[in-house]
Amino acid sequence: MAAAPERMETQPRVVGFLCDWAVRSEGLLNPDDTVVGMPHVTVIRVPCSGFVKPGWLELALRSGAAGAFVCGCPMGDCLNREGNWIMEDRIDQLRKRLSRQKVDPERIAFFAYGLHEREQFLQAVADFVDRLRGSGGKQ
């Protein structure tokens, strides 16, 4: 049992922004807004992925997160018309800016999943965390 806390210490801290209309958050989050089974991943719910400012992702990285992601509705199925397309473009632009600043752009991710795609979302987050761990989760 002593191995579990050690493993948690090696897990990179991740901040995610989850659209209210994307993956259903009931049963997905602990009371402290961390993902069930992934206490190193904190999720902030937003009304639409398009509402997320790129600066929020940069702030998460500057504040010590190894990575940050946004999850919106499936592409072309945004309740707010084009929020996921807007966010996808913002992520692309932010990655370019991070690259110019010598920060690994792979520390930022965008996912698009529907209400009933919980397992796919969880797998995408786990894969993102694994990539961060493999890169050391830093610049």
Q: What digits encode the pLDDT tens for the residues 64-80?
A: 999 999 999 988 777 77
100 Cβ neighbours under 8 A, 6+ residues apart: none
Q: What does the pLDDT look like over 121-136, one tens digit per residue?
A: 999 999 999 999 987 5
Number of domains in the chain: 1
97 located within any domain: yes
Quick check: is 93 in a domain? yes
pLDDT digits (tens, 9 = 90+) for 87-114: 889 999 999 999 999 999 999 999 999 9
Q: Report pTM.
A: 0.87
Domain residues for the domain of 71 are: 30-132
Helix H or strand E segment including 132: helix 118-134
In the block, tokens 């797998």 appear at 123
Residue at 38 is within a domain: yes
> Rounded to 10 degrees, what is the CA torsion of 76, 81, 85, 89?
170
Residue 110: other Cβ atoms inside 10 A: 22
